[in-house]
C-alpha cells in the first residue's frame, strides 16, 4: 500500500511540474509579445536568411522555464560569415569535431578551396568505400577520392561549384570522376547549392559596394581634352544617371548578378577572338626551321570525327558482372575447333617435295609460293591498317578486329591477328611473317605454313586471355607477332640438330649454331627477358611464348610426313643420274643399230 501511494505521489509531482512549465512558457511568450524591444518584426531583403540561421544556431538558456528569442542587430556593411554562430553538437564522449557542414552561414573563416570540407563523420575513405563510390575507375585511390570529395563538398557549401577560377585545384581529375563525385555527394549529403550560391553572391556584391564608397566620395578624373572633371562610371550610375532604369526601386541584386555575367561573357568572347586572331596570323606566316610547339594551337577533332569517335566508344562505365568461365569456355571451345580444322588442312595439303617443279612457282615463274603467301599476308594487314585511318570505320573495327577482355567474341581470335594501329608494330609483324614464309613454305608448303601461322596466333591470344581474365585484369590486344614467331620456331625445330652459320660465322671446320640454340635465343629475347624486366603494355611475352610453343607443336605433328617426303626426294635425286645414264646408253645403242 505504501509503495502504491509513493508511486501516485511521484506521478502527481511530475504532472504538476509539467503544468508549471507550460504556464511559465505561456507567461514568457506573453511578455515578449507585449514588450516593444523584443517584438519579432518581419525582416526585409537578405537579412531574413541570416535571422533564421542565427535563431536556430543560438544555445538554449540554462533555465528551462525561460524562453528567449534573440533578434540580431543587422548592419548593411556586415556579411553573414562575420556574424554567424557555430552550432555545437554534443555526443556521449564530448563535443563532436567531425560535423558535416551544409549551410553557407556555417562556413569556417579559414576555409580554403584546395582543402575543402569534411563530407562524412567517419573520416577519410577506405579502399572498399572508394571502389563502391567510384566503380570502374582504376586510377582512383582512397587519398585521391577523399581529396576530391572534400573539395567538391566545400564548393557546394561555399557556393563556388561553377566558379571557373577554382578549377585549377581539380585539374588532375577527369570530367567523369568529378561528375561521379558530385552525383554521390548530392545523393548522400543534401545541400541547397542554389541558396548557398545566392548568399555568396550577395556577400560579394556587398563587399564590392563597400569598396566603391570611397571612390564615389572623392575620386574625380581630369579629362585630357578640356581639363574638365568627371566622375567615374560607377559614381554616375549611383547618382541615378541611368536613362532607362529597370525598376523604380533601383538596381536589384539580380540585375547586378546579370550584369556581372554579361561582363564575364564579353571578356571570354574577346579572349576567344584574340586567340582566333593569333591562330590565323600563325597560319598565314611562313615558318622556317625549328619552332616551339604550342598546344593551344591544336584545334582537336573535327565535329564529324568527334561524332564517329563517340559512336566507336563503349558507353559502359564499369565492366559487367560475368563469371570468368562464361568468358573462357566459349573462347577455348572456338580455339579448339579452329585448331582441329587447321590440322585437317595441314594433313590434306600437299608437301612441296611431292609437287612437280613447275607447281612451285606462281604468276608464270615471277614469284615463288613463299613470296606469294607472304605478299598476300602483307596486303591483308596493310588494308586493315589503312582502314584504321578512316574514322567512320572505327565503330566496326573496334567491335570486330580488337580482342577485348570485357566481352570478347570468339572470332576475334582470328581477326585480331590482322590488326595493327602503329606503323612500327605493323613493320615488325610483317618482317616476322616474311621470314617465316620464306623459311617454312619451301619445307611444308603453303597450306601447312598458313595452318601453323594461324594456330600460333590463336594459341597466343588464348594464353594471354586466360592469364589476364584469371587475374581479373581488363586489357585488349591485337597483332601478329606470336604467329610469326610460331612459324619461325617451327622451321628451326625441323632442323633442330643441324648447324646454322650467320654471315659465314663461325668459320670452317666449326658447325654453326644448332636449331635448338636459335629457338632458345628467340625465346630468351622476346619472351623471357620481357617477363623478367616486367615490360607490360607493349610487349605481350605470354602471347609470344605460347606462339613459339604452338609452332614447335605443329612442326612435331607434321615432321613424320615431312621426313618421309624428304627421303623420297633424296632417293629421286640419287636415282636421277643413273636414269640419265641409262637413257643416254639407250640413245647411243639405237643410233649404232641404225648404222
Burial class (CB in 10 A: 0-12, 13-18, 19+), 155: buried
Domain 324-579 part of CATH 1.10.240.10: no
Q: Which stretches of the chain score pLDDT less than 50?
A: 1-12, 14, 28-29, 31-97, 218, 220-245, 287-291, 293, 536-537, 595
Mapped onto helix, strand or coil, the DSSP state of residue 500 is strand
Over the stretch 258-281, which tens digit does the pLDDT of each residue have? 888 999 999 999 999 999 888 887
Write down the pLDDT at residue 581: 67
Residue found by looking up cell 602503329 in the block? 422
Each domain of the chain, given as residue ranges in start order, spans 1-39, 95-197, 324-579
Write down the pLDDT at residue 510: 77
C-alpha grid cell, residue 212: 566603391
Q: What does the alpha-carbon distance between residue 70 and residue 51 come to, in Å, rounded to a whole number? A: 9
pTM score of the predicted model: 0.49
Write down the pLDDT at residue 121: 86
Write down the pLDDT at residue 578: 64
Write down the pLDDT at residue 250: 63
Burial class (CB in 10 A: 0-12, 13-18, 19+), 116: buried
**Of how many residues is the chain composed?**
595
Write down the pLDDT at residue 164: 85
Write down the pLDDT at residue 332: 93
Supply the DSSP string of 225-260, one letter for each residue: TT--EEE-HHHHHHTT--SS-S-TT---HHHHHHHH
Amino acid at each position: 500500500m505504501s509503495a502504491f501511494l509513493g508511486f501516485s505521489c511521484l506521478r502527481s509531482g511530475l504532472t504538476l511540474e509539467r503544468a508549471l512549465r507550460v504556464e511559465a512558457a505561456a507567461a514568457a511568450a506573453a511578455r515578449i509579445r507585449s514588450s516593444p524591444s523584443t517584438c519579432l518584426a518581419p525582416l526585409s531583403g537578405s537579412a531574413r536568411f541570416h535571422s533564421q540561421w542565427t535563431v536556430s544556431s543560438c544555445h538554449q538558456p540554462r533555465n528551462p522555464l525561460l524562453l528567449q528569442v534573440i533578434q540580431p542587430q543587422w548592419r548593411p556593411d556586415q556579411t553573414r560569415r562575420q556574424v554567424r554562430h557555430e552550432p555545437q553538437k554534443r555526443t556521449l564522449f564530448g563535443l563532436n569535431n567531425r560535423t558535416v557542414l551544409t549551410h553557407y552561414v556555417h562556413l569556417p573563416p579559414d576555409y580554403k578551396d584546395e582543402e575543402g570540407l569534411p563530407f562524412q563523420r567517419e573520416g577519410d575513405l577506405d579502399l572498399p568505400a572508394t571502389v563502391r563510390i567510384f566503380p570502374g575507375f582504376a586510377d582512383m585511390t582512397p587519398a585521391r577520392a577523399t581529396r576530391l570529395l572534400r573539395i567538391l563538398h566545400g564548393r557546394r557549401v561555399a557556393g563556388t561549384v561553377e566558379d571557373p577560377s577554382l578549377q585549377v585545384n581539380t585539374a588532375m581529375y577527369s570530367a567523369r570522376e568529378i561528375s561521379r563525385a558530385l552525383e554521390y555527394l548530392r545523393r548522400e549529403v543534401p545541400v541547397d547549392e542554389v541558396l548557398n550560391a545566392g548568399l555568396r553572391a550577395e556577400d560579394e556584391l556587398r563587399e564590392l559596394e563597400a569598396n566603391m564608397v570611397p571612390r564615389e566620395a572623392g575620386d574625380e578624373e581630369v579629362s585630357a581634352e578640356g581639363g574638365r572633371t568627371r566622375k567615374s562610371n560607377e559614381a554616375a550610375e549611383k547618382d541615378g544617371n541611368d536613362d532607362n532604369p529597370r525598376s523604380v526601386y533601383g538596381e536589384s541584386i539580380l540585375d547586378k548578378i546579370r550584369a556581372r555575367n554579361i561582363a564575364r561573357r564579353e571578356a571570354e568572347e574577346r579572349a576567344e577572338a584574340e586567340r582566333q586572331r593569333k591562330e590565323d596570323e600563325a597560319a598565314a606566316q611562313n615558318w622556317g626551321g625549328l619552332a616551339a610547339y604550342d598546344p593551344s594551337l591544336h584545334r582537336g577533332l573535327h565535329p564529324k570525327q568527334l561524332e564517329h569517335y563517340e559512336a566507336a566508344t563503349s558507353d559502359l562505365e564499369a565492366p559487367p558482372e560475368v563469371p570468368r568461365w562464361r568468358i573462357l569456355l566459349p573462347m577455348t571451345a572456338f580455339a579448339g575447333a579452329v585448331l582441329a580444322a587447321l590440322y585437317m588442312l595441314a594433313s590434306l595439303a600437299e608437301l612441296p617435295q611431292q609437287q612437280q617443279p613447275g607447281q612451285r612457282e606462281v604468276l608464270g615463274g615471277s614469284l615463288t609460293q613463299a613470296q606469294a603467301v607472304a605478299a598476300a599476308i602483307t596486303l591483308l594487314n596493310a588494308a586493315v591498317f589503312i582502314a584504321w585511318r578512316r574514322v567512320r570505320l572505327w565503330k566496326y573495327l573496334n567491335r570486330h578486329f580488337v580482342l577485348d577482355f570485357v566481352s570478347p567474341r570468339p572470332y576475334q581470335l582470328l581477326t585480331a591477328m590482322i590488326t595493327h594501329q602503329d606503323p612500327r608494330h605493323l613493320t615488325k609483324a610483317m618482317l616476322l611473317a616474311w621470314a617465316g614464309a620464306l623459311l617454312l613454305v619451301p619445307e611444308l608448303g603453303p597450306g601447312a605454313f598458313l595452318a601453323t601461322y594461324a594456330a600460333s596466333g590463336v594459341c597466343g591470344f588464348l594464353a594471354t586471355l586466360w592469364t589476364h581474365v584469371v587475374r581479373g585484369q581488363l586489357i585488349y590486344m591485337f597483332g601478329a607477332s606470336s604467329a610469326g614467331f610460331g612459324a619461325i620456331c617451327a622451321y628451326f625445330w625441323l632442323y633442330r640438330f643441324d648447324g646454322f652459320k650467320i654471315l659465314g660465322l663461325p668459320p670452317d671446320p666449326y658447325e654453326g649454331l644448332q636449331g635448338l640454340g636459335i629457338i632458345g635465343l628467340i625465346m630468351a629475347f622476346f619472351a623471357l627477358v620481357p617477363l623478367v624486366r616486367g615490360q607490360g603494355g607493349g610487349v605481350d611475352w605470354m602471347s609470344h611464348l605460347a606462339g613459339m610453343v604452338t609452332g614447335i607443336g605443329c612442326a612435331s605433328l607434321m615432321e613424320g610426313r615431312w621426313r618421309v617426303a624428304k627421303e623420297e626426294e633424296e632417293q629421286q635425286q640419287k636415282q636421277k643420274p643413273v636414269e640419265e645414264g641409262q637413257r643416254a646408253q639407250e640413245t647411243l645403242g639405237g643410233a649404232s643399230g641404225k648404222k
